Chain A
Amino acid sequence: MTIRPLTATLLGLALADLALLWLTPAGTASTRDGDPRVGLVFDVGGLGDKSFNDSAYEGLLLARRQLGAGIEYIEPGDGADRESGIRLLAAQGVDLVIGVGFMFTDDLNLVAREYPGVFFAGVDYALQIGKNGQVIQPPPNLLALKFREEEGSFLTGALAALTSKTGIIGFVGGMDIPLIHKFEAGYRAGAARVRPDCTVLVAYAGVSPQAFKDPGKGKELALTQYARGADIIFHASGSTGLGVFEAARETGKLAIGVDADQYSEAPGHVLTSMVKRVDQAVLQAVRSVKEGQFQGGIMTLGIKEGGVDYIYDEHNRDLIDPAVRRQVEALRAAIISGDIVVPSR
């Protein structure tokens, strides 16, 4: 295979063009003295994903409004330009660089060591486990923002098990990784807690990041579970879950959303959503910088800290029995008080 000069030139020009386009961060970073400057790099999907990234953006806006922070952000394309995005922001001398998504873990570790004078935060940062099974701490200027997804998932699991007529409920995960296993573990535990004989069907869409954006696959997985008697399916699978909602619509069954309130994706078929308040995590990180309290390490946000929760509002009120709601609220209180510790795997 030979690459012809013309093609190579065109391709090179195109790439250079693209690089120029996104190497200019959006936003305004000018601040009064003492107010923090924050740079954020989005996960794949970028702004407008109605989920994770939008929530992170909401956190940035809150930081600007409440804390006077100067904000800028970069939406990387697929692949390896995440690292250069972080590095660019760090080199520009912002006070805090935030990477949104577990895929930033290695990039953040690397760049945080190169820029010890800049603070970094990673949403969904994946902790590394050392040879002896101990958790390897992130660099001292890097804050791992983690969520106890298992707690929110525990509540959705209990809610699903109590609402199910068939005694069979489903779970569709995106990529088969520890982060998503946390959702599954909490969901299973919640179901088992309130209804020990409840069957939980589990399926994952794949083993690559592509598994988070294949609604066709999500729909078929959901149809399989519905055909096996499941009447409620919880998905933790990005836009793959849009296929799960589609299957719920077509079979007249129920699904549970994730990350954001996904009621509008299939009105009448979304029992609830397990929300992850990325905005709160971002806001808290910025606040700690502003107050001079920033410390590297691990910050986990569960129900108690307002990091995760389940949705109950005027949209889904009719789908949830009041007695069931009371039972789930009792579990929620027990998690907050520490009486229930939810397993994460």
Chain B
Amino acid sequence: MINCDLPVQALRISVPYVLAALGGVVSERSGVINIGLEGMMLLGAFGTVVGTLMTGSPLAGLGFGLLAGLLLAAVHATATGVFRADHIVSGLAINLLAAGATRVLLKRLYHSSSNSPRIEGITSLVTGHGLLALLAHPLVWVTVGLVAGVWWLLNRTVLGLRLSSVGEHPEAAAAAGLRVLRLRAIGVMMSGMLAGMSGAWLAFDQHQFTDGMSGGRGYIALAAMIFGKWRPVPAAAACILFGSAEAIQMALQGGSAGIPVQLVQTLPYVLTLVALAGAIGRARPPAAVGRPYP
């Protein structure tokens, strides 16, 4: 019974990682480090719940979630672009801002510091937690589509190639007539929407917003993005690897395999360190990532 459930659970855990990691890829390929993914995810989850409660429609809720991620990303794009702020500092501020804002708003709107009222999730043809339920979930297919879409964008479209060029060599791109800051802003804002959708998944999965529910997933997604060497498909694969490690760790806890749980829990982080250390081919970030322009 477990044998069938485990891979499904791993994939289910991976979905929000994949969405956020794609966001990381788009932003960093355009030259902007985005550790604000965590905060964009959190605000996206909050926006989804507020939108769903206000309109009664999960689809509109999703729209709100995307918008929330987008707004926060716009702040990051402005700070790093127009004001040349350090990308890490701005990202950190984004995360603090999202944590504080959601807490204040949660209390203001729903009189709780713990959780929001319940929302309807995405209705799907198959309920439950098996393979069929996963395959019937529309957001799963949206995610698969987005992995392919981001690959297509970055490798096969003019916009994608321009995004990559401002991440690699903004001066050259500018000399070729590209508007660097505008392109970077587009990259960051797409990133915000992807992270927002990741948050929406969490909110729909829990049928509510709870304080700090992103739970560090944005950072794990960032690690997966690095593990995947800033490319969408390998990054998604890394997310599934991390999700699997988590599922295995959960399965081991219940059983009596005798393997220390804490050891399995550290697996994703160890793997990321190994990847960063360059053991699995050299991890080369976009040349101009984190560098302000002009």
Contacts and interface: CB of A to CB of B under 8 A. Distances in A.
Interface of A: 1-4, 6-8, 11, 14, 18, 45-51, 53, 77-78, 176, 201-204, 206-207, 210, 213-217, 219-221, 223-225, 227-228, 239, 242-243, 246, 250-251
B102 interface: no
Instruction: List the 9 closest A-B pairs by CB distance, nearest first.
Output: A48-B113, A214-B215, A203-B253, A7-B85, A49-B114, A48-B112, A201-B254, A213-B212, A46-B113
Contact of B254 (A51, A219, A224, A243): A224
B251 A224 contact: yes
Given A50-B114, A202-B253, A242-B114, 5 more contacts: A7-B85, A47-B113, A213-B215, A242-B206, A246-B207
A213 B210 contact: yes
Contact of B112 (A50, A203, A227): A50
A217 B213 CA distance: 10
Interface of B: 1-2, 5, 9, 12-13, 16, 79, 83-86, 88-90, 93, 99-100, 107, 111-115, 127-129, 202, 205-208, 210-213, 215-217, 246-247, 250-251, 253-254, 261-262, 265, 290
B202 A3 contact: no
B239 to A, nearest CB: 14
A232 B294 CA distance: 60
12 contacts: A6-B83, A45-B211, A207-B265, A214-B213, A215-B210, A215-B213, A219-B205, A223-B129, A224-B9, A227-B129, A228-B254, A242-B115
Contacts of B13: 216, 220
Given A7-B83, A50-B112, A239-B115, A216 B127 contact: no
Contact of A246 (B100, B127, B206): B206
Nearest to B13: A220
B86 A7 contact: yes
Given A6-B85, A7-B86, A48 B129 contact: no
Nearest to B6: A224
Contacts of A4: 83-86, 89
A237 B284 CA distance: 40
Given A51-B114, A227-B1, A242-B115, A216 B90 contact: no
A242 B265 contact: no
A192 to B, nearest CB: 17
> Which interface residue of B16, B85, B114, B202 has the most chain A CB atoms within 10 A?
B114
A50 B20 CA distance: 31
A239 B83 contact: no
Contacts of A217: 215
A7 B89 contact: yes
B85 A220 contact: no
> Which interface residue of B93, B115, B127, B215 has the most chain A CB atoms within 10 A?
B215
Nearest to A212: B212
A228 B208 contact: no
B90 A223 contact: no
Contacts of A2: 86
B89 A11 contact: yes
A203 B89 contact: no
B262 A207 contact: yes
A213 B213 contact: yes
B86 A221 contact: no
A136 B12 CA distance: 46
Contacts of A47: 107, 113
A125 B38 CA distance: 32
> Which interface residue of A1, A2, A224 has the most chain B CB atoms within 10 A?
A224
A223 B9 contact: yes
Contacts of B254: 201-203, 224-225, 228
Contacts of A203: 250, 253-254
Contacts of B83: 4, 6-7
Contacts of B251: 224
B253 A242 contact: no
A215 B12 CA distance: 14
Contact of A3 (B89, B111, B215, B261): B89
B211 A7 contact: no
Contacts of B114: 45, 48-51, 239, 242
Contacts of B129: 223, 227, 250-251
A53 B89 CA distance: 32
Given A7-B86, A228-B2, A239-B210, A216 B115 contact: no
B253 A216 contact: no
A53 B205 CA distance: 26
A207 B206 CA distance: 22
A250 B118 CA distance: 14
Contacts of B85: 4, 6-7
Contacts of A224: 2, 5, 9, 250-251, 254
A188 to B, nearest CB: 14
Contacts of B210: 213, 215, 239, 242
B12 A250 contact: no
